[in-house]
Structure 1
Amino acid sequence: MVRFCIFGAGQMGKRHARTLAEHPKAEIHSVYDLLPEAAAELAGRHGAIAVSDRETVLADPAVDAVVITTPASSHAELVVAAARAGKAIFCEKPLAEDIPTARAAVEEVRKAGVPSFMGFMKRFEPSHLALIQAVKAGEIGDVELVLLTNRDPKVTLLELSQQTHHHAPYTLLRESTVHDFDLARALLDDEPVEVYVAASSLVEPELGRLGEVDAAMTTLKTARGALCHINNIWRTTYGYDQRLEVHGAKGMLRAENRPETNLVRYTDAGVLHDRLLSGPPGGSQFYFYKYAEAYPGEMNHFVESLEEGRRPMVSVEDGYRSQLLVEAAVESLKTNRPVQVAER
């Protein structure tokens, strides 16, 4: 039995708590939040205790692991504290707000020797996971080309872009493309060494006035020469568009979109499929519908990895590596040139 303390009682803390409550080998021991009433509400829902002092709960031998879903500015600090306390760590992205802080957190986790997991849930969507496993099994030989499509039905991060533009510009790259960078790293057989980004503001005028972007095409190149193309936009008329394609020396693999149902209408007007799985039209939480199986999948994988003594599929090291790609992409967009990926 793995006993957890959940740090952060917001939307993601509640979602992960539901998964842990349903897992036969997991138990929610405690909940910490800066808002005591939020911690008490979530803890009470799952028969756990609400705590207000993080040092005390981290020192508690009854706690085996932590789930970190607090605001991004606190992630690295909590990761370091948990590692030093000998706790296994599940952390939502990003690992940190800058590269030196992320690198220092990774070093602390390495030094402590504790298992860690970074919340890149897209790896755990069933079709994505099957594709990753097929690539790792060598079904298509050496990977040569990776194509990733990530198109949101609407702009949902305008407010965040307004809040962070001056100190952390290009929210599209930091919040959306970062997931694609993680998928790219999972599919390529060596690390990307070069990044080039072309981007525009095509959808939301306010983003353009800020100097932000809502559409981008990114190219990654590995040391071996394998290439990855990523396309992002914050507008579609047909639902949440999430596609993966990998071309290798021996064949090709594709993970397609899922419609809301498999009903296909054949009439004199043509052939009509349902919209892509995205939830209610116009809704802002479309990702929870497409990735409904991925969120519990990632947490179940973490619990089972801890129970069986296996290394989780994705760690804070992967969070750091994807963050390096984000910063290289930001530099490329600012300078309009390919940028080499390097430790910073």
Structure 2
Amino acid sequence: MEMRAGGDENIDPEILTRGMEGLERKNTKWYAYFLTKEFWIVLVLGQILALCITGTNTFSTLLVMKGTSIPAFQTLFNYVLLALIYTTYTIYSYGFKKYFGILLVDGWKYVILSFLDVEGNYFTVLAYRYTNLLSAQLINFWSIICVVIVSFIFLKVRYKPFQIVGILICFGGMSLLIGSDSITGGTGGTVSTQVKGDLFCVAGATFYGLSNVFEEWFVSKRPAYEVLGMLGFFGIIINGITAAIFDRSSFKGATWDGDVGGYLVGYTLVLFTFYSIAPVMFRMSSAAFFDISLLTGNFWGTIIGIEAFGYTIYYLYPIAFVLIIIGLVIYFLAGSALGDSRKPWLGANQEAGVAGLGTAKAKAVREARRAGFVGAGSI
């Protein structure tokens, strides 16, 4: 259950302190987090998200193959679904007065988040007009670099040696994927269209990286349903404007049949699932780990591409996949029982955060309960 934002004043600060101390006393080894169930949950969630993003990429490729390339319009339905479900629930939970109060005070922040997210979707989907499923995914590792830089500068995240080594090993796996694509000629198309597609991928990855960091900041301080509801509400407006400007000619020349309708439905449902799970991932880990996990989508994309698009798998692909998984494991061998769920911008005891699903604050409250402390509040 999500608690209300704004520091959760019904939780005694002493309880948070005791809970955090209890967690750290129980897990002092350098490999502590690796042995917790939270690590394995995060690892599995990362692969589910990678499969989701591979699914959306696959549907985008299928739409282009049918002659329907409508990058902004095809994502609009996802924001509509987010707004219908999460905005409705937010208004139900807060009431109209509190909801519109948040819109007045923090609406501009959600506009920025939604803009970054919409443009990330737009440029990534647009890239499939000029390159294929495999090639487009290979460029997305740029978002990790963006996340690391932005998190370091603005969120004061300090990466430990194990985390840096893990990221470098993941990059090594990605390098093998890029090399495999080059050897097998996986990009297809002309050089000019390939370069254009790669540039759109880089633009999309940059917007994604920025939006991921911003969303991690938001869901650590606010209930997830509020963030997703606002993202859906403003996403409809911004995405609608983007579609009206850039998709008009493509919309008129697009193919419309049962297959296209099915692809759009599949794309929307998979993307909605991705958006619904992402806040938990951001809370339990970080934007950096989130983006690193998505690197394995290249492997899953190849597996799907074998059946759907006639790709052939090169022997370096399984090796690259294993390297990326090893990098993910090493990333979390940093000696903290809380992993990346403890956010530096929320205070030493996470007092400025929300005690929601997956947060370090919620873990501290549960630990205080287990230790027998009273007055731990409710979550």
TM-score, normalised via structure 2 length: 0.23
TM-score, normalised via structure 1 length: 0.25
Structure with greater helix share of residues: 2
